[in-house]
Structure formats: C-alpha cells, structure tokens
Amino acid sequence: MAYQYTTNAQKTAPAAAVGAVVTPNNTAYANSAWATIQDPMTAASVLTGIAFRTTSTTVGQYEIDIGVGAAASEVVIATIKGMCYTLIGNSANGMYIPFAIPIDAIPNASRVAARLRTQGGSVTTWNISITYLEKPIVGSLQVTTHPTKVVPSAASLLNIQSGASSWANGTWGQLSASTSTDWIIAGVSVWSEGTHGFQYEADIGIGAAASEVVIATLKAGYCFQSSAPFLIMLPNPLDAIPLGSRVAMRVRTSASPPFHNWNFYVGLTYYEGPL
Amino acid sequence: MSLLNTGVLKVAPPAADMVELLDGGNSWEYGDWVEVIAATSADCNVAGICVGASSAYSNMEAEVEIGVGASGEEASIGLIRIYGPNSGTAHPGIYLLPVVTDTVDAGSRIALRYREHDVNLTPNVFGVLYYEGFDADISVPLTLTAAPLGTDSVSFTPNATAWANSAWVELSSGIGYSSLLAAIAPSNPSTTCDIEWDLGIGASGSEVVITTLRSAMMVSSRSGLLWYLNLPSLYPIDANVRVAARMRKSGTATDATTVSLLYYLNPVVPPTPPVPTDESSVIRILRQWGHFSDENFWIFWHEFELLMETGKGLVTGQGSDPVIEISYSNDYGHTFINAQNVSIGKIGEFRHRVRRLNLGRSRDRVWRLVCSEPIAITLLEATARISKGSS
C-alpha cells in the first residue's frame, strides 16, 4: 500500500473574493487580455486547480491559461480545455478542475493571472480563480514544473462521430499526427448533445491509421447536454504516449437512432513528458 | 512514489449498456448487488464508476458501493458518495476514486449496489472503470467511505453576507481509527457564485483550518452534475479527531446547503496513542531474543530484517519519523553493541523495509530491539540471512 499525501493547507486566490474577471475575445480562439488573480503571491507555490464560471448563454468551448509574471510578460504554466454547453441556460456546479500532479511553477512574490480563449461570439465575462499549496510541501506529493497543454490547441474540440449502430465504433479521429514529446494525459474532454438514457464510450488510441491500439476508454451516461465543464481529470495521469506517436480518439453509443453517427467533440489536456 | 500509470484504463460492461441498479425501496436502503464483471480477465485496480440517470432526480444524495466476490458474498472495496442537484441539466457522470483500489485478483466478480435519500422507482445505470496493468506506485487497500454514512448529509444555512463564513458544521465527531480525508460531497447555492469550503479539525469552537477547497456554481435552480470535490491530496488525521466544515461564497443566497465527507478508513491499524507531552510519558518497549548459535561455529550475519507494521508514523512531532533501535550482543547477552536507529517508516510508507546489512560474525548472538516512539508497534517476525563458518 502506498499513497501520496500532504498536510499543507490548500489556499485560494483570490481568497474569499470573486474570481478574476476575464472578458473573452469576441474572435474565436483569440486570446483575451490577462486578468490578475493575485499579485504578489506571498510564497513559492504549486498550482493545484482552477475554478471558473460564466453567465454566458452561448455555446462555449473554452481554453483557460494560467500565467505567471509581470503584465505583458506572463508565462503560461497551465492550460485546460473543455466545454460549457449553455445554449439553453448556463448550468453546472462542479466548476473546478484539479491537477493530479500540481504544477510547481509559481515563484514567491510573483503575479498570477488568467486568460481565456473561446469559440467567440460572446464577450460575457468569466470569473477564474485558483487553488494552490505554498511550498515547502510537507508529505509525499508529486509535483511537476511542466505546464499542462491541450489538443486541439487554440481551436475547437475535434469533431468525430459515433458508429452507425448501437455500440459500433465510430471512425478514429486524429488529434496528433506525431507527438513531439512523450504525452502524459492529464484529462479528457468529451462532449455531445446527449440526453437521458444516452450512453457512450470513448477510446483513446495510439498508432498508425487502422492500427490504433487503445490505451484508455471512458464510459458515461448522459443526463442532459446543458452543463459543464466536460473535462474529466485522471487521478493517475496516463503515461502511455511515446514521442512520435499518432494519437486518435473514437466513440460509440448505446442509443437507438437518432444517436447513431452522432457528433462528438473531443480533446485532451496533457503534460509533455517525461516528468 | 509516482502517480504516473501506463496501464490501460478499461470500462465494464464494455461496448454494452450499463447495468441497472435500484435502491432498496426505502430511504438509504441498499438495493441488491448487481454484477458488472462476472470474472476479471486479469489482475486489475478499480478506478471509479460511471453513472447515467435513467430518470429525473432533484437534490439526489446517493452512495454507490463497489463489491468483490461471489453472489451473496460481496465484500466492499469502496464507496462513492455523490450529490446531484438536478438531472435536467447534468452532464455525463464519471467518478474516479481519489486513489485506485488495491489489486483485484484475476477471476474476481465485481458488483455494485446503490442507495439514496429518495426512493427511486426507475433504475439508474452504472458501470465500472478499471485499470489492467496499473503500475503507478500508489494504491490503498482501504475502504473509501463517507460521513455521514447511509443517511442525509449535514445541512446548514450559508451566511447571508458575501464571503462571510457560515457556522462550522460537524462532519465527524471522531473516528476510532486513523483515516485519510479525500473529498467532500457538497450541494451548492442556487445562484451563480464562487464558493470556498474550509475543512477544520478540533473541538467545537476551536476548529483549526487544515485545507480550503474552491469551486463555482453557474445559474439558478441548483443545476449540474452529480459530483464531489477532492482535496489536493489525501490528508491524514489521527484517530478520534473531530472534522468540521464551513462555507463562504459570493452573493447573499441562504438556501439550505448540505455537505458530507469522503475518507479512507484504516480499520486494521489500532488507534494511535496520544502524543506524549513530555519525556516522562514516553513508553519504552524492549524485545530481546534468545541465543543464536550453531555448535559454537562462527555464524556470519549478512542481513537482519524485522517484519513489522510500517508507515504508521504520526503526522507531526515525535513519532513523525519513527525509528527502532536494533543492537546485538556477542557475549551471551552481557553487553549490547553496534546499536543503530533504523527507520520504521513515516506515515504512509507501508512498503518500508526495516533491515540492517553486514552485521559481522558471532559464535553466540542475542538480538535486541528498543523503541520509544509514541505509536503502536506491531512486530510480526524477524528473518536473517546467514552462513555458517567451518570452525
């Protein structure tokens, strides 16, 4: 038996205040301005998670960057990617994305900020905040200096379709033709316009086209499509994508028509390895 | 110790509809166990569950238990407690355990059962996510459980002033065993807001914040997914420590809010003795063996290993880096020499080996152990690797 632990108290920023207000760029996947979350940090720290929300009522794929540094000199230390499907009214409660392996890249006295990219078409503000642990870490917690990255990057989630019958595989959709480093999967984004009784499985595979080997499968049942954040973080990041790999995903569904050949939108949040 | 894993994440039932589970027909009464995997094809570690709501729910508090064993003989290996405000706007449910279960042997049957506050006449559907070839250096053969357990979560009223703390509410008055705090399963306000939760330990009125969690809520009507909110990592607490929570948020909504605690219980480890406040209260234990000799020939001692429960150090202070003194006598027990303090594992270092190497020779040897750490010491046996001389 072995486990990781820490007795450090997790902290929040902004503390006991609303999250930093970020106004999206109206242009699809163009960066917003950076918004300060805390300046300065009072100790060197590791980033443990990101909380966020919006009152936008437009369909919203999002990418959130957390950066460290003075204004105009921010360095991105983490990016996450998902979906806030809010077409019929924004709605979600679990708007917090934890990092299984916290990111050790926040120096003492530094400024921490956030920026946003969306599908565009809305300038309704978002609120973004973080959780962190001040160093030194007491315990056995694994941390990394590597930032999380996302694929597709600064673009919409990859559109793939389920198979033509119940539980029939859809066609593989390529996320990367060849990874430039090892990829360690931290989280998986899967979104579709499902409804009650709709179940899916999503495979992540590596290998040449038609020779993909499945390295992970997720399965879930939908209740309704209007929600967020559509990003499942893995407590144990998956270190199974070597440098030079082709990475793809496919989906299959349970339901009877019209959910065959159904549109899904997928992506990954990952660390570049080795850590 | 690494969290990274190269094993394959799989689902059950694969490429098929999830299994249907009903509760037991009364509030917080379990329904029947339902088989998800008849026989695992390889050793595996359960990673979590997946859920789909077949029917509408509102303010659903539920517990899903994972069991291993033949029908009628299922043994729980974990429980997930979740809160869901409104099925009308919930997203797909994947609930991964904070730490995977210990290894489930190949050929094992895995089943689920479920209960909730309400009586649900329409079954919900569930599946299991598991790893084959899981190789991260992490697992706990402990049971993830909840407080309160099998009853409604603790309810309280948020403070009407933005970012002012609610009153503390007790989640656990103290458990008779050491435990590892993992997550909370909270409900949420009915308006868009940012939320912070403090977890505290200590007597009522004297709570000390041990960690703070943060989340956010979008839109009215308590929409959203079934969920729970993880701590950044497991947080160990000693036996009989009271745990409480309080909440603050933006906005002024005062809807009744509920919260429960998810934690790993360590029932095999006896309660940790209280930490001594001065040297006079330290208990010193001594264990000494009989004489090891073989026809009065030389015995060469290559290795001595003590098999005992390890990784039971305290969180802080004396006992947080516990040691045991190992010495021996080569003169029939008159004088003990070469004493050395050997670590018996900080908290969580359950794989720690307690051993010494290259221990000289003797014609007669008596081994002695001395420990004065304020933790429970459980000795199992000792082994030695030796060779016999020719004279």
Judged by a CB distance cut-off of 8 A, whether residue B234 touches chain A is yes
Cross-chain residue pair B87–A224, CB shorter than 8 Å: yes
Judged by a CB distance cut-off of 8 A, whether residue B252 touches chain A is no
Between the CA of residue A143 and those of A102, A129, B332, what are the distances in Å? 5, 20, 51
Residue B340, class by beta-carbon neighbours within 10 Å (0-12 exposed, 13-18 middle, 19+ buried)? exposed
Query: Is the pLDDT at B330 greater than 60, yes or no?
Result: yes
Cross-chain residue pair B233–A94, CB shorter than 8 Å: no
Q: Give residue-wise pLDDT tens across range B75-121.
A: 888 888 877 655 555 555 788 888 898 889 999 999 999 898 877 66
Q: List beta partners, residue B246.
A: B198
Residues of B within 8 A of A1 (CB-CB) are 102, 139-142, 311, 350-351
Compare B190 and A147 and report the one with higher pLDDT.
A147
Report how many helices (DSSP H) and strands (DSSP E) chain B contains, helices first: 0, 26
| Cβ contact A230:A190 at 8 Å | yes
pLDDT value for B220? 47
Q: Give residue-wise pLDDT tens across range A98-119.
A: 999 999 999 999 999 999 999 8
Mean of per-residue pLDDT scores for chain B? 84
Between the CA of residue A229 and those of A62, A80, A191, B129, B169, what are the distances in Å? 9, 10, 9, 20, 29
> Lowest-pLDDT range, A68-82, B191-205, B344-358?
B344-358
Q: Which of A127, A219, A240 sits opposite B194 (nearest CB)?
A: A127
pLDDT value for B274? 44
Nearest Cα neighbor of A99 from A141, A67, A138, A36 is A141
- Select the residue from A96, A125, A223 to test the B interface by mutation, using most B Cβ atoms within 10 A: A223
Query: Is the pLDDT at A200 greater than 90, yes or no?
Result: no
Average pLDDT over residues B229-238: 91
Average pLDDT over residues A163-179: 96
ipTM of this complex: 0.92
Q: Which of B18, B134, B218 sits opposite A95 (nearest CB)?
A: B218
| Cβ contact B213:A50 at 8 Å | no
Residues of A within 8 A of B125 (CB-CB) are 199, 221
pLDDT band of B213, cuts 50, 70, 90: very high
Cross-chain residue pair A16–B196, CB shorter than 8 Å: yes
Torsion of CA A148, A150, A155, A160, to 10 degrees: -160
Give the closest-approach CA distance of A154 to chain B in angstroms.
24
- What is the Cα gyration radius of chain A? 19
Judged by a CB distance cut-off of 8 A, whether residue A124 touches chain B is no
Strands B110-116 and B93-96: unpaired
Closest residue of chain A to B234, computed from CA coordinates = A5
| Cβ contact B84:B62 at 8 Å | yes
Q: Give residue-wise pLDDT tens across range A123-142.
A: 989 999 999 999 999 988 99
How far is the C-alpha of B226 from the C-alpha of B218, rounded, in Å?
14
> What's phi and psi for B69, nearest 5 deg?
135, 170
Residues of B within 8 A of A218 (CB-CB) are 9, 11, 50, 94, 129
How far is the C-alpha of A125 from the C-alpha of B218, rounded, in Å?
13
Q: Which of A17, A91, A219 sits opposite B11 (nearest CB)?
A: A219
Query: Is the pLDDT at B266 greater than 80, yes or no?
Result: no
Provide the 3-class DSSP secondary structure of residue B387. Answer: strand
How far is the C-alpha of B210 from the C-alpha of B208, rounded, in Å?
6
Average pLDDT over residues B327-335: 87
Between the CA of residue B134 and those of A125, A248, B219, B293, B352, what are the distances in Å? 42, 22, 39, 45, 21
pLDDT value for B273? 44
Closest residue of chain B to A223, computed from CA coordinates = B90
Judged by a CB distance cut-off of 8 A, whether residue B347 touches chain A is yes
How far is the C-alpha of A6 from the C-alpha of A215, rounded, in Å?
30
* B178 Cβ contact list (under 8 Å, min separation 6): B236, B237, B238, B239, B266, B269, B271, B272, B312
Judged by a CB distance cut-off of 8 A, whether residue B8 touches chain A is yes
pLDDT value for B320? 82
How far is the C-alpha of B81 from the C-alpha of B130, rounded, in Å?
18
Residues of A within 8 A of B8 (CB-CB) are 214-216, 240
Q: Give residue-wise pLDDT tens across range B305-318.
A: 998 888 877 777 77
How far is the C-alpha of A124 from the C-alpha of B211, rounded, in Å?
32
Query: Is the pLDDT at B201 greater than 80, yes or no?
Result: yes
How far is the C-alpha of A256 from the C-alpha of B215, rounded, in Å?
36
